[in-house]
Structure 1
Amino acid sequence: MKRFPRLFLMMLMAALFAPCLPAMADELPAPVTKLDLQDGDTLVFLGDSITHQCLYTQYVEDYFYTRYPKLRIKFHNAGVGGAKALDALARFDRDVAAYKPKYVTVLLGMNDGRYVPYNEEIFQTYRKDMQEVVQQIRDTGATPILMTPTMFDSRAVRLNPKRLEATPAERLELYNSVLAYYGTWLREIAVKNGDGFVDMWSPLNNLTLQQRDTDPNFTMIPDAVHPGPAGQLVMAYAILSDMNAKKGVSNINININPKGKAKARAVGGEVANLEFADDTLSFEWTANSLPWVLPSDAEVAVKLLKLGHRMSREALAVHGLPSGKYELSIDGEVVGSYRSQGLARHIELQANDKTPQYQQALEVAMLNKKRNEGPVRSLRGEWSKFQQLDRQQRALKADPDNEKLAKLVAGIEAKVAGMEERVVAHEKAAQEIEEQIFAANVPPTRKYVLKRVK
């Protein structure tokens, strides 16, 4: 039989299979790469004790409150200490779906792995329950944002003799890699379903290793499991970075020509009443947003991440000034002195705590800290009791003749009684502080004066 030339066979196969390729590609949804939150939308943070800490969630909220002051975006923390995916399912209807979220971030897995080396049965339980969590989120019409478990910092344990003595050696050696495996599986699920995905594990591990080059005892997770404020800020940054959040706040660029005529170009707001006379430049600036300012306990990570420059850049450049030193004041308050050469290159104001916009953003952050440390955390406490009751009720169902367990369940039921009324009260208290935030986060028009002093 005469053999067909290879080129002919390749062309024939291409002709046969080409019509199928677009259809196959069309069946694969594109992953979500942005949190497109609009006025009235709600973002829910579903998770375990790391979410219950009310820190990375608070920092993400701070970002949106200051970056989008004209939008009333709502947030709900649905974290409970010790939670596994199965626990999240038990409270899903009231603690997640009831808030009608547009997006739900999911941070579960630290407890699901049970702090033991990789175990196939344990993983399959986690896999089954997480798939059900994702499906329930989708059933509400929301989009899941799957997030890897965070880092298990074994060195933090090794630095504590008492904790080291009480911790199995296999956990120290293997558990961080178990969490990495769980996170890798979550990424595949997100890609397959077209969900959002955030890598928490890598930045926590990578930054920690970098810092240990100079400080072998460095950790952002003192108890090996629960990140402190610095680690939680790394987590918040991971969400915003992986979800391609808007980075810059503003960029004001002013040119003064040889005749002394000033002209401005700006991004992130509007310049008005621009004047230059007697070596003094003045203008009014109405910004669209505020810098992302955080409570001082997260300052370590602000510096590590170069967070101001990366996520909150407030740049001012002035070209054509007569050579010399200039004093910048905003609303009558002196915020710094700069050489004309530096102003021509540009200065950045986002980390300058003397500026009124920094102080305004800090006020927003402190109000939100009050909201999270008060009613939000109290609300999470109610769900902690609910989780305890749900677990014990399941145990009693499996062992109905256990009188001791029945008595324990009755005691917890008494504590949970009236929970809905308390939940509503905590929600109301959180909303009252949220109203204060919305009243404080709108940037007013500010007067800038740049005056030559030398």
Structure 2
Amino acid sequence: MLRSLLCWSLVLAWSAVAMAQEAAVPVLKTPVSKLDLVDGDSIVFLGDSITHQCLYTQYVEDYFYTRFPKMRLKIHNAGVGGARAWDALARFDKDVAEYKPKYVTILLGMNDGTYRPFDQPTFDTYKKDMTELLGKLQGIGATPILMTPTMFDSRADRARPNNKRDPLSQAEYNSTLAYYGTWLREVAVENGHGYVDMWGPLNNLTLEQRKVEPAFTLIRDAVHPDAPGQLVMAVSIITDMDLPRSVSGISINLNAKNEKQRAKGTGGVIEGLSQTEDGVEFTFAAESLPWVMPEEARLGAQLTKLGHRLSSERLTVHGLPAGQYELSIDGQSVDTYAHTALAAHIELQENDKTPQYQQALAIAMLNKQRNDGPVKALRGEWGRFQGFARTRRDAEANPTDTGKQEQLAKQTESMKGMEDRVAKANADAKLIEDEIFTKNQPLVRKYVLKRSAGK
């Protein structure tokens, strides 16, 4: 009996140890790999002056307007020039939480590092404030998407007229930002947040271009990416968050015996296929439009191969007699192609003669108007609030400083009416977006391939 009790005691002890060890194994979280979006969802782009530029955010909006024309998202730019993580905390309730976001992208760190070689106390401040910010986001049920600081272009900085930055800071600050970004990646992985690499693509593309053009830069002032660089950033968001990469595919096989095999479409519906004496014609109702951007950003599209990778419109036609064929869409001549090229497939997404390209371009230009006008006006209001919040912090820390108290009084006066001005800017932006959604709906297009005379 004693031996049996001893055996049972050992079994129970071993079981308890095993259970304790099992309980001690941490639950590993999976970082967000894809945005799960439905109509009405809200996304906030939180950041500093690089977000305040209203460019990468604008291009991502263009993507959503054209790729998901039936889904209306609520997208809010919450960037302010000069912002650090502390500043984002100061305006969090009204500039972030009030928009009830499902996702919040965070692009902060460029200013937090203070444009100097890595300094541990400076990083610790950034880490503390970012950790608090992430806690507040989780507190409102939002999913953070951490984005690395962008590139600091030391070569471009050295080339600036009257540049006074010290050489060591120029040489090392890009590495400082890389460190900040690496920490953000670890935080994202360990906590199940989203993660977007901005630093890598900007640096890698710059390196490749400098192999043939040593003075090449995407960031002429060393800090703020120009429009092509901002498009590189938008591409990083779309790819890292695994958003849909193709617009449509049309495949016609005139040799197929089965009617269903003669016409296959992805991203839309083919109807009315008819083989004529000198070609073929059909209609195609696409579900989306190509991702088109203003002229100033198109170098970024070339560098990233955006059209082929993220906006492809493929057309394949097998079984045409040998010859050259003119393609027209809705009566608009697009180009002439050999039957062999059509059999291999052609891509239309960057052909500015197609009606769908022109429709998408009109959307991009409307959204540019929206961002250059009311959205930037809105961000200007929050820029003034940032100055006020910093002054208030300094005045509270120095209650006997008369100068700071007087400055606070003046800035407090300037804040009067801000809520009304913010509401007006939001309303004006919505009016333009309402117009966008009347013009971004894909139309049924008539495609005609006709053999060119004598070819």
Using the size of structure 1 for normalisation, the TM-score is 0.94
- Partner SS for 1:270: strand
Hey, what's the Cα distance between the residues in 2 that align with 1:249 and 1:90? 41
1:273/1:17 Cα in 2 relative to 1: closer, same or farther (>3 Å)? Answer: farther
In the other structure, the counterpart of 1:103 is 103
Give, in whole Å, the separation in 2 of the partners of 1:20 and 1:354: 68
Give the conservation status (yes or no) of the 8 Å contact 2:66–2:291.
yes
Once the two structures are superposed, the pairs formed by residues 368-383 of structure 1 within 5 Å of their partners are: 368-383=367-382
* Aligned mates of 2:21, 2:101 — CA distance in 1: 35
Query: Partner residue of 2:224?
Result: 226
Please identify runs of 4+ aligned residues in structure 1 that moved more than 4 A.
15-26, 258-262
Counterpart selection for 2:179 from 178, 181, 198: 181
Task: Say if 1:109 and 1:179, in contact at 8 Å, map to a contact too.
Answer: yes
- Helix, strand or coil: the match of 2:246? coil
Change (3 A) 1:230 1:17: farther
The equivalent position to 1:200 in structure 2, one of 174, 198, 201, is 198
SS in 2 for 1:162: coil
SS at 1:252 equivalent? strand
AA aligned opposite 1:135: G
Deviations 1:269-305 (A, max 9, x none): 0000110021221101000100000010001111111
Matched AA of 1:98: E
The 2-side partners of 1:448 and 1:17 are apart by 71
In 2, Cα distance between equivalents of 1:197 and 1:81: 22
Does the C-alpha gap of structure 1 residues 323 and 429 become closer, same or farther in structure 2, counting only changes over 3 Å?
A: same
Q: CA deviation at 1:35?
A: 1.2
Q: CA deviation at 1:406?
A: 1.9
Q: Which amino acid aligns with 1:374?
A: G
Q: Distance in 1 between matches of 2:329 and 2:26?
A: 54
1:392-431 CA-partner distances (Å, limit 9, x unpaired): 1111111112222222222222221110000000000001
Aligned counterpart, 1:149:
149
Aligned to 2:445: 446
What per-residue deviation string (whole Å, max 9, x for no partner) do you get for residues 205-255 of structure 1?
Answer: 111011000010000011110000011011111111111111111111100
User: 1:18: how far off?
Assistant: 8.2
Residue number in structure 2 paired with 1:6: none
Task: Count residues in correspondence.
Answer: 439
Deviation at 1:24, TM superposition (A): 6.5
Paired-residue identity, %:
58
1:159, 1:217 within 8 Å by CA — same for their partners in 2?
A: no
What RMSD in Å do the two structures reach over aligned CA positions? Answer: 1.8
Equivalent pair of 1:330/1:449 in contact (CA under 8 Å):
yes
Residue identity opposite 1:399 in structure 2? N
Task: Identify if the C-alpha distance between structure 1 residues 216 and 16 changes in structure 2 by more than 3 Å, giving closer, same or farther.
Answer: farther
What pairs up with 1:3-402 in 2 under 5 angstroms? 27-163=27-163, 166-257=164-255, 263-402=262-401
Rounded Cα–Cα distance in structure 1 between residues aligned with 2:45 and 2:128: 20
In structure 1, what is the equivalent of residue 5 of structure 2? none
Letter in 1 for 2:191: N
After superposition, the Cα gap between the structure-2 partners of 1:22 and 1:376, relative to the gap in structure 1 and judged at 3 Å, is: farther
Pair 65,20 (structure 1): closer, same or farther in 2 beyond 3 Å? farther
CA 1:191–1:330 in 2, change beyond 3 Å: closer, same or farther?
same
| Superposed displacement of residue 200, structure 1 | 0.5
Q: Cα 1:20–1:231, aligned 2, differ >3 Å: closer, same or farther?
A: farther
- Which amino acid letter does the alignment assign opposite residue 247 of structure 1? R
CA contact (8 A) 2:281 2:449 kept: yes
Residues 1:326 and 1:22: Cα distance change in structure 2 (over 3 Å): farther
Runs of 5+ in structure 2 lacking a partner?
1-14
Q: Is the 8 A contact 1:260 1:276 kept in 2?
A: no
1:437 aligns with 2:442: no
Letter in 2 for 1:81: G
Cα 1:256/1:21, change in 2 over 3 Å:
farther
Task: Note the residue ranges of structure 1 that are not aligned, 5 or more in a row.
Answer: 1-14
Is the 8 Å Cα contact of residues 260 and 277 (structure 1) preserved in structure 2?
Answer: no
Asked whether the equivalents of residues 210 and 216 of structure 2 are also in contact (C-alpha less than 8 Å), the reply is yes
Please give the alpha-carbon distance, in whole angstroms, between the structure 2 residues aligned to 1:216 and 1:441: 41
* Deviations 1:123-182 (CA, angstroms, capped at 9, x unpaired): 11100000011111111111000011011100001112411xx11112111111110000
SS state at 2:317 partner = strand
Number of the residue aligned with 2:408: 409
Change (3 A) 1:393 1:119: same
Q: Partners of 1:259 and 1:194 in 2: how far apart?
A: 51
- Cα distance in structure 2, aligned partners of 1:397 and 1:65: 45
Cα distance change, pair 193–258 in 1 and its aligned pair in 2 (3 A): closer
* 1:8 paired residue number: none
The CA distance in 1 between the partners of 2:429 and 2:373, in whole Å, is: 8
Is the 8 Å Cα contact of residues 314 and 348 (structure 1) preserved in structure 2? yes
> Residue 162 of structure 2: SS of its match in structure 1?
helix
Question: Match of 1:7?
Answer: none
Q: Within 2, Cα distance between the matches of 1:341 and 1:197?
A: 43
Change (3 A) 1:421 1:252: same
Compare 260-269 and 134-143 and name the one that shifted more: 260-269
- 1:47, 1:79 within 8 Å by CA — same for their partners in 2? yes
The question of whether the paired residues in 1 share the 8 Å contact of 2:256 and 2:262 is answered with no
What amino acid is aligned across from residue 372 of structure 2 in structure 1?
E
What residue identity is the alignment partner of 1:99? Answer: Y
SS at match of 2:269: strand
CA distance in 1, matches of 2:275, 2:357: 26
Structure 2 length normalisation: TM-score?
A: 0.93
CA gap of 1:78–1:305, structure 2 versus 1, over 3 A, is same
Letter in 1 for 2:234: A
